[in-house]
Amino acid sequence: MTDAADLRTRVADLLAAHPPATTGRAEFLRARFDAGLAWVHYPQALGGLGAPRSLQAVVDAELAAAGAPDNDPRRIGIGLGMAAPTLLQYGSDEVRSRFLPPLWVGDEVWCQLFSEPGAGSDLAALGTRAVRDGDDWIVNGQKVWTSSAHVARWAILIARTDPDLPKHRGITYFVCDMTDPGVEVRPLRQITGEAEFNEVFLTDVRIPDAHRLGAVGEGWKVAQTTLMNERVSIGGSRIPREGGMIGPVSRTWRERPELRTHDLHQRLLTLWVEAEVARLAGERLRQQLVAGQPGPEGSAMKLAFARLNQEISGLEVELLGEEGLLYDDWTLRRPELVDFTGREAGYRYLRSKGNSIEGGTTEVLLNIVAERVLGLPAEPRNDKDIAWKDLAR
């Protein structure tokens, strides 16, 4: 059985064969994947060793100490945090072997084609259609709020394959080629002035049935795997003390005493404690992940993440006064990733407004926590047994 000592030996062998100082980044990352040191809890030949998930920290620490490159996880976060767990659980052997290596190495960026203009919070009401045509599916529809679509090579996609069934049942899950000529990506300009996400139009897009994940009509079940992992990746990432949003405002408080007031001090203390509680709760959540798949607790973490980001960024703007309203670039940019801490306070304040929408709205997540964590009675759902085609729209 693989243990920490065995992993350290494997890392040493990798470093000896591929010294980071003289090995290209891509070559090193591919060698790391082939050695089973990418995500150690994944199966052998898929970047792992079938080892306990908790041992990944041993590998990461050894490689960081040696100055080895990482795979830029923030840039490929959708692939790592959402697509990969779904591919692993529902993909065929051929699909997993094709997609997981370039996904982890970062050769191919992924995006998520879930939300639609008429079905955002109520994702199961989606109307994008997929119709079987021999060994392919032909997809038509529109998706919205798609982060990284402008740089993505592949997408995870859910589409309606049977409109005669209730909305949660007639959905199927696919891997979509973003280079297909029927895929059109248009930028959506945000309140920040940027366009990090997009609307995506799908016109007669052909998807081979081999790129279907899970059974036909069971896409909602497959999507739950994606969504639960998404909420953990958004709200449960490992950060050090004073990491995330609380870090910049704490530094400003220490370095600029002329800005301090008693009222802001009390609010900062409260938010600092809450941020630390959320960080430690995230550690507990990751311990649970070692034993199995993410559950509804990830929704609670994502809720806390969104509220804290918005309150902390609001406090920072108040602390800085007029200075807090400015940031360096209001022009239309197309960033590959979101950078909360590397930008000015005004940007953080505006961008954090989206935290209570992306990855599941606050209202939806409150329902999940109430029903699946606290065991409270479910809200009445009068449309759950009605065919999707008969729903009012």
Q: What is the pLDDT, as a whole number, of residue 1?
A: 66
User: Does residue 19 lie within any of the structural domains?
Assistant: yes
What's the distance, CA 243 to chain centroid? Answer: 18
User: Of these residues, 116, 196, 199, 230, which one is catalytic?
Assistant: 230
Q: Same domain for 102 and 43?
A: no
Give the model confidence (pLDDT) of 52-102 as tens digits: 888 999 999 999 999 999 999 988 999 999 999 999 999 999 999 999 999
Are 229 and 139 in the same domain?
Answer: no
3-state SS assignment for residue 345:
helix
Same-domain status, 256 and 342:
yes
Which residues lie below 8 Å from residue 276, measured CB to CB, with a gap of 6+?
241
Residues 236 and 317 in one domain: yes
Q: Are residues 234 and 365 in the same domain?
A: yes
**In a domain? residue 392:** no
Q: Say if 161 falls within a structural domain.
A: yes
Residues 390 and 296: their CA atoms lie apart, in Å, by 30
Residue 146, H or E segment: strand 136-147
Q: Residue 379, by phi and psi: left (phi above 0), alpha (psi -120 to 50) or beta?
A: beta
Choosing from 39, 70, 101, the residue where a domain stops is: 70
- By C-alpha distance, which of 40, 45, 34, 105 is closest to 69? 105
Co-location of 190 and 250 in the same domain? no
List all residues 6 or more positions away from 191 whose beta carbon is below 8 Å from its beta carbon.
350, 353
Per-residue pLDDT band at 243 (split at 50, 70, 90)? confident
Range of the domain at 173: 80-217
Q: Is 316 part of the annotated catalytic residue set?
A: no
Alpha-carbon distance of 214 to 11, in angstroms, equals: 35
The backbone torsions φ and ψ at residue 224, rounded to the nearest 5 degrees and listed phi first, read -65, -35
- How many domains is the chain built from? 3
Per-residue confidence (pLDDT) for residue 253, from 0 to 100: 95
Q: Is the pLDDT of residue 119 over 80?
A: yes
For residue 191, report the phi and psi dihedrals to the nearest 5 degrees: -65, -25
Amino acid at 204: D
* CB within 8 Å of 380: residues ≥ 6 apart: none
30 shares a domain with 103? no
Residues 56 and 167 both lie in one domain: no
Same domain, residue pair 242 and 346: yes
In a domain, 230, yes or no: yes
On average, the pLDDT of the chain sits at 90
Q: Is residue 388 part of a domain?
A: no
Q: Tell me what pLDDT residue 327 has.
A: 78
Residues 55 and 105 in one domain: no
Does residue 386 lie within any of the structural domains? Answer: no
Average pLDDT score over residue span 246-268: 94
At 73, list the tokens.
């996880």
Specify whether 180 is located in the same domain as 288. no
Q: Are residues 245 and 334 in the same domain?
A: yes
Tell me the C-alpha distance between 309 and 250, whole Å: 13
Q: Does residue 292 or residue 24 have the better pLDDT?
A: 24
Q: Of the residues 217, 245, 260, which one is the last residue of a structural domain?
A: 217
Residue type, 389: K
Indicate the pLDDT class of residue 239, thresholds 50, 70 and 90. Answer: confident
Rounded Cα gap, residues 75 and 92, in angstroms: 26
The CATH number assigned to the domain holding 138 equals: 2.40.110.10
